[in-house]
């Protein structure tokens, strides 16, 4: 479920002992940030998580040295974590570590194809990827 979606959020099965949300971007992108929100109509959100990325869905790399990334403190505020370095990836896994009431999130990956500018769907924010 994407950010600011009015009705849906990702909620793993309660019996899953090690849940994660995997996003397939369809092709390789240069990603620079991830944004999260809680459930649009409930009191559930993820308060901390880890990220991994992959180019091939086989070999996974930890983001930010496996650091615990801060999540949400309420259901509606968008929390964006900007990476220290732009990362090449096709697949992104978000692994919740802690949560309020239940694991739940809406998420969005920010980035662009090489040499292009990515624009958020509603035109609110713009992200440019520049390679040195």
Q: Where are the domains of the chain?
A: 21-113
Mean pLDDT of the chain: 87
* Residue 9 pLDDT greater than 80, yes or no: yes
pTM, rounded to two decimals: 0.84
Element (DSSP H or E) covering residue 117: strand 117-119
Which CATH number applies to 21-113?
A: 2.60.120.260
* Residue 12 pLDDT greater than 70, yes or no: yes
Residue 115's pLDDT band, with cuts at 50, 70 and 90, is low
């Amino acid at each position: 479920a994407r950010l600011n979606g009015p009705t849906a959020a990702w909620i793993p099965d309660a019996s899953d002992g090690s849940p994660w949300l995997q996003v397939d971007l369809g092709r390789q992108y240069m990603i620079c940030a991830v944004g999260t929100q809680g459930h649009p109509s409930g009191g559930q959100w993820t308060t901390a998580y880890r990220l991994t990325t992959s180019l091939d869905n086989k070999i996974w790399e930890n983001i930010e040295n496996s650091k615990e990334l801060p999540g949400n403190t309420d259901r509606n505020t968008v929390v964006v974590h900007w990476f220290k370095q732009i990362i090449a990836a096709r697949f992104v896994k978000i692994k919740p570590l802690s949560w309020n009431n239940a694991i739940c999130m809406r998420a969005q990956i920010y980035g662009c194809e090489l040499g292009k500018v990515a624009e958020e769907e509603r035109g609110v924010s713009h992200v440019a990827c520049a390679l040195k």
